[in-house]
Structure 1
Amino acid sequence: MDIAALKRSGHSIRWIARKLGIHRKTVKKYLESNSFPAYHRKDIKPSILEPYHQIIRDFLDEDEYQATWILTRIKRMGYSGSYDTLKVFVRSIKEQKRRIAYQRFETEPGLQAQVDWGDFKVVESTGKTTTLYAFVMVLGFSRAMYVEFVERCTLEVFMDCHLRAFRHLKGVPAEILYDNMKQVVVGRENGRPVFNTEFLHFARHYGFTPRLCPPYSPWVKGKVERPMHYVRESFWRGYGFHSLEETNQDVAAWIAETAHQRIHGTHRQQVQARWEQEQPCLGVLPPSEYDTSLKYFRKVYKDCLLSFGGNRYYVPYQEAGRKVLLKVKAGVIRIYHDDELLALYQIPELKGQTIGIPDKPPPRTPRQTPRYGQDRGKATRGLTTGTLYPEVYRRPLEEYDRYAAGGAPWNS
């Protein structure tokens, strides 16, 4: 545009080139052209690191690995470039991650809760270290919480903790956010999560929708990550552990007297008052509780035994050949046919045991050798004799000689 304006003012090509600091041929080219100059990118040779870009990003999504650690792995995959090339790329990815900002979001009353596990170490008087696990559920709107310490993180315990949390929080949220814990997700198929079937039945019974965080994204469920740290610092630090039952009583008192009485740093209101505001928006508990026993089907064999967990259990002889339902909870196994309880056993600690006393079956009536009666195989018997061995008319051989000689007709 400057070239065209100066030319319209009557200046020569040489003067315009000197004025703008460009070559005369450049001035002439754009005076003769009707288009604007455009930048044309030259073909750039692809980087030797380019085939490994996604692999490196996946590594850095897992953790902030050093470039030297990544170099060792990708060299095994065939990378032949230099360390400096890798270092520059790793540094750029880490800087991008540090510049990411996350928007804080608040949920409506009764909409969402978040759940997580936390591990807590206990040093016994003998010096032995054991681990307890804290189940924490936090309501997203009010930040009201339920905390329970358990010894194991089984699916049965996980569902029981939900039951007690719903009762304590006086309702069920519309959805609950989890990370990819094994009690909720059993695997992935084509990138999609596969939920635990038993837990899906549990969620349907109570009317909430389980939601999942993206992998390696703890900030998504920050409403429970921060309270977990609060439990560690405010309740657990300096606490003297004596028994699991006493600890759960103490943490319940701490929640009522301390955690729910504080002014929360985000919504600047008392948690207790905010919780009372949220309670009418929570879902109502169903009239009957979900049976959180673990359920299995097993076949009863001819010896009236079924196999489960490395042991064998007797059931009534009437169930031989059938499939029965096993409900396992708190170390007790209950065996059902439909809704009829057949047997109840305590699960032994040792394997290879045969549990129970076999029922004495009724005495068998002696079975007679099958004989052909009047109602079986009539088509195979004689037409007049009613037997497989019909009587045949017997003639002396002299008569047959007479027939052969023509002394009597054959059809007589």
Structure 2
Amino acid sequence: MPQRRAQIHKTHREVIGERAARDHAALKSLPPTPYLVAERHLRPVGKDCLVAFGGNLYSVPARKVRPRQLVEIRATKSQIMLHSTAADANGETLLATHPRAIGRGVRVIEETHWDGLPTGKGRRTTTADIPQPRRDRPLGEVAGPLQALLNRAAATRIEVGRRPLSVYDELTGTRPFTTRPSTRETS
């Protein structure tokens, strides 16, 4: 190996040992904190404030999310961090941090995340800090013709024009399709 370091490299035409010493001196020290390698995924929040990832379920605070809201998962080898896709009033996006579950079918839950969920005893719990979708009209009122078609009761009141198919033939300039008896059938 010492003989090789004394040779001249055929590509850059420098003594290998001298070039190695210069390259080594130019290297910077490693940063004090290691580089964090994380997978990033978007997942919807369930009605029970659980997010599925890697065959496991992880909880998020009920007071900070709503069902079907997309959250970003940042998964490292040992940790799962759940972030909101929009920052809150303080500019924070982190919702929860959990240790990464080993195996599949594991539920990693922090009980305080369920504060604000209905208890199942007929009592509804609502959260004031989560904006709810605004409804401009009552649920039974239709918004237009398309919505009326989706609503069966309203669809029965829509009049549909009826016309013979020959109207379409005239509009397109084609001759109507007619069947002619074949020569075999007439003989």
Q: Same fold by TM (over 0.5)?
A: no
TM-score w.r.t. the length of structure 2 is 0.43
TM-score w.r.t. the length of structure 1 is 0.22
The structure with more helix, counted as a fraction of residues = 1
Q: Which fold has the larger relative contact order, with Cα–Cα distance below 8 Å and residues 6 or more apart in sequence?
A: 2
